[in-house]
Structure 1
Amino acid sequence: MKQFILCIALITIAASIQAQNNQRVIEVKVSGQGEPLLFIPGFTVPGDIWEPFVKQLEQDFECHVITLAGFGGKTPIDFPWLPQVNSALQNYIIANNLSNVTIIGHSLGGTIATWLASRDSLNLRQIILVDALPASGALMIPNFNPDNLVYESPFNSQQLNMTDEEFAQMAAGMSRGMSLNTSSQEQIKKWMVNADRKTYVYGYTDYLKLDLRKDLKSINIPVTIIAADTPYGKDMVTKTYQSQYANLKTYDFILAENAAHFIMLD
């Protein structure tokens, strides 16, 4: 009997530690009632970006809005960062019995949604991917090999050693290509500047290393992909998505015209 009680106590402690770890890795705001929706933002972006949509949808749906560690003022975590994020979200869905959940993810958030959809243990209804790819690194890096991407690199060191002013200038330049809206560009820049610098640098390395193209074969739920046509144009964007999602059995593809990467802001 004593051994049984000890086992129960250890299981309870382990579950408590796991829950605490999940809370450190992700922050979740829940509102509304109905079928569950899970919103995952993109890299450096807090969950607040989904607020206009949540206000409309929470009348009919239970909305779970995620902010990731290191972003939106949230405490950073140790590395590797992205595997912990993926696991925490999977554990959150299971622990909260989010059956038949729809996941809506932008950019990195869409990549994470793709990873979750490829897990056999989750009962998902569908995923909606907003300008998201399963292997961004393969698109951006010639002769892509995830093993060659490491934290300790000259490029990462350069970004870590930037002054705040230099980093802000870089963020301003990048944000101009992410939205067609001037005020949105300024907000995107602020999100980047306010992100924990190490999470920005090493977390992006995690992001580029992730290649889910083979995992697409395991996805059997409906997938909707919404892609921006700016700045590359309809033909190139369509070709890119067809190539990256070639292993996905079927999906609905929507091209958002006159929109850049942050489609929901444009």
Structure 2
Amino acid sequence: MTSVYTYEDTSRLIKTADYDIQINDAGQGHPIIMIHGTGPGASGWSNFEPNVQALAAKYRCIAVTMPGWGGSSPQDLNTGRDQGEAIRQLMDALDIEKAAFVGNSMGGGIATVMATKHPERVTHMITMGAGIWGPAVVGPTGLSEGLRALWSAYEDPTPVNFKRLVSVMCHDQAFATDELAEERAKSAAARPEHLRNWLDLMRAGRGADGFMEAAAKLPESSVPTLLIHGRDDRTVHFEMSLRALSLIPNSRLVLLNRCGHWAQLEQAETFNHMVDDFISQN
């Protein structure tokens, strides 16, 4: 009989040397660390619940809510976002030597930091809607449509702005439900300090701390890498994953038509099969 996991049954607060990190921990087997994107109100569970339900039948799935989101510690405005160090400390606290990494958007950037700074801790890297920072994010017209919606929700976390945010993240608007918008808005409102800290870091030009350094080292990476990107992503253009493909030696790219920024939700069944196959075969 297939287990059905709930947020309450899987939620844990892990204390590391420098952080309190909320996770949802389900299943047994090779660990998969799942890291969400940068949007307000995001959490490991809200970004990966359908993937945890499927993949925990075979793997230990750890959906992480990063410092600066949800029930985890605030971001440190003095040191910026050393999210790679937060993950390293989390792995040590959980006594996990090595894990596969699955990262959406910002989470993909954190995976690249781990793959280049701590490659001995990373068995596989799988990114969705991430790639490598470049002109397709900040172009002649400024931020992408999705990043503008995301910024607006941070500055003014109203239901209208959250509805706009979830709508721009999805190609199929059936996934951009009022319930999802309300859930994200409620989560954001519960920790207003997370919103303020994110805006302060972004305005200080520290939104991509560590990502550029990681990108420069990716041509030396030997970590097996699967890049997944929605062809209709209006937040991070698929060109970003093409750039990553050209730099990472042991990599492959899957480009999904009729799919936006949240491939793991919009095409969950396909995504789960790809993740399982990639980890099993590599």
Q: Does TM, normalized by the shorter one, top 0.5?
A: yes
- 1:243 and 1:123 map into 2 onto residues whose CA distance is 24
Alpha-carbon shift at residue 56 of structure 1 (Å): 1.9
2:66–2:83 CA contact under 8 A, matched in 1:
yes
- 1:42 and 1:79 map into 2 onto residues whose CA distance is 19
- 2:153 and 2:98 map into 1 onto residues whose CA distance is 41
- Of 71, 76, 89, which residue of structure 1 is paired with 2:74? 76
1:116–1:122 CA contact under 8 A, matched in 2:
no
- 1:63 and 1:200 map into 2 onto residues whose CA distance is 27
1:88-237 equivalence runs, <5 A: 88-120=86-118, 122-135=120-133, 138-142=135-139, 162-165=155-158, 168-179=159-170, 180-184=172-176, 186=178, 187=180, 190-191=183-184, 194-195=187-188, 196-204=194-202, 205-208=205-208, 210-211=211-212, 212-230=214-232, 237=238
Using a 3 Å threshold, how does the CA distance of structure 1 residues 71 and 95 change in structure 2: closer, same or farther? closer
- 1:261 and 1:104 map into 2 onto residues whose CA distance is 14
- 1:250 and 1:202 map into 2 onto residues whose CA distance is 36
1:214–1:247 CA contact under 8 A, matched in 2:
no
2:231–2:260 CA contact under 8 A, matched in 1:
yes
Instruction: Name the aligned partner's letter for residue 168 of structure 2.
Output: G
Q: Deviations over 1:150-183 (max 9, x none)?
A: xxxxx9xx96995554xx5444333322112244
Runs of 5+ in structure 2 lacking a partner?
1-14, 141-147, 189-193, 267-282
| Structure 2 counterpart of 1:36 | 31
For the pair shown, the structure with the greater C-alpha radius of gyration is 1
- SS of 1:102's partner is strand
| Structure 1 counterpart of 2:59 | 61
2:238 is equivalent to residue 246 of structure 1: no
- 2:58 and 2:155 map into 1 onto residues whose CA distance is 46
1:229–1:257 CA contact under 8 A, matched in 2:
yes
1:134–1:245 CA contact under 8 A, matched in 2:
no
- 2:248 and 2:101 map into 1 onto residues whose CA distance is 17
2:245–2:252 CA contact under 8 A, matched in 1:
no
2:153–2:165 CA contact under 8 A, matched in 1:
no
Alpha-carbon shift at residue 73 of structure 1 (Å): 4.6
Using a 3 Å threshold, how does the CA distance of structure 1 residues 64 and 81 change in structure 2: closer, same or farther? farther
Alpha-carbon shift at residue 69 of structure 1 (Å): 2.5
What count of residue pairs does the alignment treat as equivalent? Answer: 227
Instruction: Name the aligned partner's letter for residue 19 of structure 1.
Output: T
TM-score normalised by length of structure 2: 0.68
Q: Deviations over 1:110-129 (max 9, x none)?
A: 11011101124633211111
2:25–2:62 CA contact under 8 A, matched in 1:
yes
Q: Deviations over 1:195-252 (max 9, x none)?
A: 33213323545334532321212321100000001157xxx73x44323443211311
| Structure 2 counterpart of 1:261 | 261
- Of 36, 40, 46, which residue of structure 1 is paired with 2:43? 46
Deviates more, 1:219-228 or 1:76-85: 76-85
1:175–1:189 CA contact under 8 A, matched in 2:
no
Alpha-carbon shift at residue 188 of structure 1 (Å): 5.0
Identity among equivalent pairs (%): 17
1:31–1:64 CA contact under 8 A, matched in 2:
yes
